[in-house]
Structure 1
Amino acid sequence: MDEKAARTIQAIIVDGTFTLAGLAAAALGIWYVWEGNAGLAATGLGGGLVLLFAATIHRFESLKGLGMEAKTKELKFQVDKAEHALAQLRDLAEFTGTNLLRMVSAGGRHGSATSMDNSYKVSRDVKKLFADASSKPQTVRTALEFWARYAAIDMFSTKLRDMQSTFESRIRQMGEDAAKLQGDDCADLVRRSQALREFQLGAQKGLGSWELHEFPSRLRRIVEEAPDLLSVQREQWRADFAPAITQLQYLADNLDYRDHEYWGEISRKRG
């Protein structure tokens, strides 16, 4: 005989014993009711009910178990629905936040004007929105990188515009010097001034397609690789560009401003 069968027989015997004892006690209680002995009647009936309950308690537990199982399944269903709704909410938040950043960051370039300060505020709001939606870090970074790239473009363009007067002054001076020369010396100086002009015009080539991490090195190259700048001019712009390069590097690493006042000045220059 296996263990399961033995337990079944044991349960039948126990249940039968409790049932018979319960019926006997209840019958005795009823007898005492007829006899008018309230105390013994209550004892008999109470004991009988307890014994009968003991005989059927496993059935109550089974019913209770079924009820709990049903409630557990219902609860799990509701939790699954909530998780699905949360996932949909997260998708909506990410879609809305990403596209909001795209529209705001691109403002001022396609017919509308949005200040850098406003773009920054929106980027912080979107970052908080993603955090509240428990978005993945990479999703947050991808969205914020779009804003950060436009901020870097604004920084790069503004600093290069600041330097235009130096380019123009140097090219003009080289032209005047070439006019005083003849032959190969004149031709060489003209060629060099043309090379500086080409460097000036090509400094922003492909600007919109640069990766965020490229901006610090590209701004540094403007100063270090521009041909025929005077030493004093190169040193002047090396010192001027150093803080901007630091800000761009921090932006690329942290997707945030390091010095808000510095970026505020860039925003005012951008107009």
Structure 2
Amino acid sequence: MQSKKITLIVNIILLIAGLVCIAVGCFKLITNEVALATTGLGAGLVFLFSATIERFESLKGMSLEVTTRKLDDKIHEASEAVKELKQLAEISGHTLSLLAARVGRWGGSFTFEESYRLAQQVRDNLTSLKCEKSTITHALSPWVTIVIADLGRKLLEPVTEELNTLEQQLRRDRDKLPSPIKADDPEYLALVQRMNALSAHLHPGCDVSKLDSDKTMAAIEMYVSSAPELDTTAKLKHLNNITQWSSEVDFLLKQSDVKNPSLWIEALKKY
């Protein structure tokens, strides 16, 4: 308040000085004293301008404030648009990944290589929009799930094939028993027990489509380890093949990406 009073007093003094100088300048102009008239008028204008400069600054400030407010509004609108674009990209990325995974299950044309390229495009788009890592992981989760399931089927193929061969051998051994077969025949009962155990293990087998992605590899290992009729050598062979993929699967689960694309492309080219 004190500052405003001082400013007002200074402005009044400058105004009076300006008016006096202009009056003197006009008088000297009438008396043909051009030099003094010019000095007086010039000084008067300077004093008047000094007295009223606060008004110009106030007007300028108001104009700048309006312009700044408009700019802030535009920035806010742009920020909201970017947020909406991010949300749209996140939803689209997840949906695209989900559709690609399901189309593959319906016998569509998506190979692993094609789905991998699509996943990379989704990742790049969301990353460029500065989406959170958790959002990118969620968007790519359908792709990760189906890739791990496909790998699980790939790893189980030779195991299932060998178990089917063993089941057929047990049937042949049963059929070779001399007729008539007695229901209490120990050899027959032993074969039937072995056949039932193997059949219970084979059917439905290890359905990887019903497993959580992070539990698939452990479930496959358990399936092989507990398989009846498989000898130790056969189990170790299959388990070693499964273990070789453990680091690749761990990387896929953590990064939603594959560490060695060419390895996956070759392994899943039939899926």
Provide the residue aligned with 2:231 in structure 1. 230
**Shift of the alpha carbon at 1:13?**
1.5
Provide the residue aligned with 1:264 in structure 2. 265
The whole-number CA distance in structure 2 between the counterparts of 1:9 and 1:236 is 96
**Shift of the alpha carbon at 1:39?**
3.0
Could you list the per-position Cα deviations for residues 54-79 of structure 1 after superposition, in whole angstroms to 9, with x for gaps in the alignment? 11122112111111111111011101
The whole-number CA distance in structure 1 between the counterparts of 2:27 and 2:106 is 100
Distance 1:248 1:186, change over 3 A: farther
Contact 1:158 1:269 in 2 (8 A): no
The whole-number CA distance in structure 1 between the counterparts of 2:245 and 2:81 is 44
Contact 2:19 2:48 in 1 (8 A): yes
Provide the residue aligned with 2:242 in structure 1. 241
Per mean C-alpha deviation after superposition, the further-off stretch among 152-161 and 196-205 is: 196-205
Q: What is the DSSP-based 3-state SS (H/G/I as helix, E as strand, rest coil) of the residue aligned with 2:130?
A: coil
Whether 1:26 and 2:27 are equivalent positions in the alignment is no
Structure number with higher relative contact order (C-alpha < 8 Å, ≥ 6 residues apart): 2
Contact 1:178 1:187 in 2 (8 A): no
Provide the residue aligned with 1:255 in structure 2. 256
**Shift of the alpha carbon at 1:151?**
0.5
**Shift of the alpha carbon at 1:147?**
0.6
**What is the TM-score of this pair, normalised by structure 2?**
0.89
Q: What is the DSSP-based 3-state SS (H/G/I as helix, E as strand, rest coil) of the residue aligned with 2:104?
A: coil
Distance 1:36 1:211, change over 3 A: farther
Per mean C-alpha deviation after superposition, the further-off stretch among 162-171 and 70-79 is: 162-171
The whole-number CA distance in structure 2 between the counterparts of 1:67 and 1:119 is 55
Gaps of 5+ in 2: 178-183
The whole-number CA distance in structure 2 between the counterparts of 1:188 and 1:35 is 141
* Matching of residues 1-271 of structure 1 within 5 Å: 4=1, 6-178=2-174, 183-205=185-207, 207-270=208-271
Letter of the structure 1 residue corresponding to residue 264 of structure 2: W
The whole-number CA distance in structure 2 between the counterparts of 1:25 and 1:216 is 97
Could you list the per-position Cα deviations for residues 3-24 of structure 1 after superposition, in whole angstroms to 9, with x for gaps in the alignment? x2x3343232211101000111
The whole-number CA distance in structure 1 between the counterparts of 2:18 and 2:84 is 59
Distance 1:199 1:42, change over 3 A: farther
- Identity, in percent, stands at 26
Contact 2:152 2:220 in 1 (8 A): yes
**Shift of the alpha carbon at 1:177?**
4.4
Contact 2:206 2:220 in 1 (8 A): no
Question: How many residue pairs were aligned?
Answer: 265
Contact 2:148 2:216 in 1 (8 A): yes
The whole-number CA distance in structure 2 between the counterparts of 1:196 and 1:242 is 24
After superposition, the CA RMSD in angstroms is 2.0
Letter of the structure 2 residue corresponding to residue 13 of structure 1: I
